[in-house]
Structure 1
């Protein structure tokens, strides 16, 4: 995408960074991949999203899935059949990614594991001379994302991020329309990631099942007892392994929201509020999860606000009898009106207008195809979602969560008063309140919520301003030997 490539080069030049891309690979690889030569790829994390990775790569000409990698060996048999059906070859199955990375015939790793493994696998793969496709978010915390960027540059690797909207001509056209200036300045870039996230209940601690190497599954995370809410999906809602909904579905919409703000990387400040509320009246509307499923986050980028809304009590009628619809999209509020649903809605008019046409040229293919094309060309600037783009968008989710995690328990009225004074922020908070009360049938004066502090951020240093407590949450304590290194 031309717009993306220009912004990439402009950002890199401003940072004083010089990139060199080793076509012949690193000291660990050295293999030059010809235009028609077969690329061998390993898929790490083969439950849910990993199945889509397998289908995509195994179906491509001159691409073979030669490794399946997962701590849970119970998944191997079904996924072997999937590869054989799609690609016609039988992959090797290993539980430990390091075994696959030792194979000089392996060219790339596609990562669809839990969030807490994304960065370490990316870094290890770069160090081993492999290219990387990594699912969103590319990191579990801000420190990790920057280390991924450094590893990709140091070892000359192609690293693509799984934020597929970067391959969307529709979203690219909307971003280009904003950048054109036809509708005046952008005032608020809003994202919604509201999918059904109701109770996960409570699961007792127990021994891991046979076939699951739980030590490997935990990897960089500190030790915690196994329970069935961790494997295979609900790990999203626990801080050691996931990042909540803002760092799950939300990364996609956060990426679009940031993309629309001219020149945006990281914010000047961030504040977040909300809580976790589920259909468990006998447990005071709580379950075993830790991350919020109702959350409003606001960030400042100069004179532009980024507003993000997560509401998980949607898609069905809860105990309160009211049903609220899921919403996963983006809206852009400009001086002259609003861009939403791919149309422009002028101020004072009921009917939308077609969006202004701007010349936006995209590279061919979807996110997976673009990754393979860039592996062959070695042109990192042609990636739809390069690792630096990934780092910034993932970091926004982490920064919102840091404000939330440092927050205090307050009334809903106090939270409303503590958020930025803006009509769209107030409307978003009111919708969150109405959603909780209506879905659960509760009086909000009898519940509390979390109001995070407004945190100033130094984007050049990627640190908070005079806030050591917040800085601690930019990284984590790692469990040896699964340590994301300071020097990659």
Structure 2
């Protein structure tokens, strides 16, 4: 009854911040932190476990539009902590409870930004899963709200808490890798069809309006609601946003890159089957940061590993060798050393920063999460604005652009990989996106009004991410 009454009072979304940064009572080392988990499936279960096992943290709420998932997680939490958390379908109930100190967001991508913004505006600190946003503009709003409210916001890019990677970053900063001009990220993992496109019934235990939230009011067009939202533009960001976000974030961190670069281009397609998915299962994205280039590569069909020594992740090349993950190799590919260093639990890092009230203690502040997520988004924007072309035309165009030599070589490998999977690239052509120029300071494209439109999206009232002047 309490939850129902709260939902009724929130019919038009959260009011203005209920608790300003100045009014908020700091959490001291001896306080119990009352935590809410929003999103109760794969990552949400991890959140509940990781936060619940920390001393002085109580899981006070679990929330999911799917009430069955929420009840299941509540049962698990009750067994672990000896107290059953409140179960709600509407996340606004949590934001209206001033006794909640922190929230973690493990919803589908399209909810990440608005949930985090509403939470911070209601006085709560936030841990939000990757990618932290669904669009580029959402990330900048999250950064601005964190600054305005004084709330801490940690991105779920947990590699930032790796001691080994921190040691690798220090090695590169010391200049020991030589001149670093190229890096690549690799996600090779076979994914099958998600089923034919159609109109499907939403399971009765799910509040579909709350599931959609900020997204367009589209019917369910795939057999499975959960997880397969990743492959629909209305709610997901494809494999770039699903997994590759981790590795582009590592590249940015270790190479010391800020901003969105000055150029981006994507090539790819959804190949090998026809299904309800929209995002590419095969993709190459090129990011140029003046003299440095990063290539993101995705393969979702059957494939051999990238190499005998490295199957997936990030590779950063210098004149003195290369870093593959946390290992250093000489220019000939011989292992030199594997870095080591003290790691932190990413969830513990967030809680300790909250207790200390020190944003600088966060290993993955929202600004870093925003920039890495945005690189995935601009890559997808190029793809979405692309045209179908035969392989040779694409190869010729890439050569005309004068990009890093590894770009053409990576494309050649992509073509051979697709032909190994018996894809007829004349009958089912790849999509070549435009080479888009970026004003990194403004986080806008300088040469495409179409691309600039896709930096944001239309929201459904009342699930609206505020503009900067509305904060």
In structure 2, what is the equivalent of residue 313 of structure 1? 301
State the SS of the aligned residue for 1:248: helix
Q: Are 2:267 and 2:433, in contact at CA under 8 Å, matched by a contact in 1?
A: yes
State the SS of the aligned residue for 2:277: coil
2: distance between equivalents of 1:177 and 1:265? Answer: 22
State the SS of the aligned residue for 2:195: coil
2: distance between equivalents of 1:107 and 1:52? Answer: 19
Q: Are 1:67 and 1:94, in contact at CA under 8 Å, matched by a contact in 2?
A: yes
State the SS of the aligned residue for 1:446: coil
In structure 2, what is the equivalent of residue 300 of structure 1? 288
In structure 2, what is the equivalent of residue 409 of structure 1? 388
2: distance between equivalents of 1:352 and 1:210? Answer: 55
State the SS of the aligned residue for 2:216: coil
In structure 2, what is the equivalent of residue 346 of structure 1? 330
2: distance between equivalents of 1:75 and 1:26? Answer: 33
**1:436 alignment partner, one of 392, 398, 418:** 418
In structure 2, what is the equivalent of residue 20 of structure 1? none
Gaps of 5+ in 1: 1-24, 279-284, 315-322
Normalization by structure 2: what TM-score? 0.90
2: distance between equivalents of 1:193 and 1:175? Answer: 21
Q: Which deviations, in whole Å up to 9, do the C-alpha atoms of 1:263-314 show, x marking residues without a partner?
A: 4221111001110113xxxxxx321100001000001111000111011113
Distance change (3 Å), C-alpha of 1:34 and 1:391 = same
2: distance between equivalents of 1:375 and 1:129? Answer: 12
In structure 2, what is the equivalent of residue 12 of structure 1? none
Write out aligned runs for 1:53-452 (5 A).
Answer: 53-202=47-196, 204-229=198-223, 231-278=225-272, 285-314=273-302, 323-325=303-305, 327-347=311-331, 349=332, 351-354=334-337, 365-419=344-398, 420-439=402-421, 441-452=422-433
Q: Are 2:163 and 2:344, in contact at CA under 8 Å, matched by a contact in 1?
A: no
Distance change (3 Å), C-alpha of 1:272 and 1:30 = same
In structure 1, what is the equivalent of residue 460 of structure 2? 479
1: distance between equivalents of 2:220 and 2:333? Answer: 54
Distance change (3 Å), C-alpha of 1:483 and 1:230 = farther
Distance change (3 Å), C-alpha of 1:177 and 1:343 = same
Q: Are 1:29 and 1:104, in contact at CA under 8 Å, matched by a contact in 2?
A: no
Q: Are 1:119 and 1:140, in contact at CA under 8 Å, matched by a contact in 2?
A: yes
Q: Which deviations, in whole Å up to 9, do the C-alpha atoms of 1:24-48 show, x marking residues without a partner?
A: x726962221202110010001011
Shift of 1:113: 0.1
Distance change (3 Å), C-alpha of 1:388 and 1:143 = same
Shift of 1:86: 1.8
Note the aligned Cα RMSD (angstroms). Answer: 1.8
Q: Which deviations, in whole Å up to 9, do the C-alpha atoms of 1:50-85 show, x marking residues without a partner?
A: 110011111111101110111111113321121012
Q: Are 1:269 and 1:300, in contact at CA under 8 Å, matched by a contact in 2?
A: yes
Task: Write out the 4+ residue segments of structure 1 that deviate beyond 6 Å after TM superposition.
Answer: none
Q: Which deviations, in whole Å up to 9, do the C-alpha atoms of 1:10-37 show, x marking residues without a partner?
A: xxxxxxxxxxxxxxx7269622212021
Distance change (3 Å), C-alpha of 1:257 and 1:341 = closer
Distance change (3 Å), C-alpha of 1:48 and 1:28 = farther
Q: Which deviations, in whole Å up to 9, do the C-alpha atoms of 1:313-342 show, x marking residues without a partner?
A: 13xxxxxxxx53484311011122222243
Q: Are 1:203 and 1:228, in contact at CA under 8 Å, matched by a contact in 2?
A: yes
Normalization by structure 1: what TM-score? 0.87
Gaps of 5+ in 2: 1-18
**1:33 alignment partner, one of 27, 31, 38:** 27
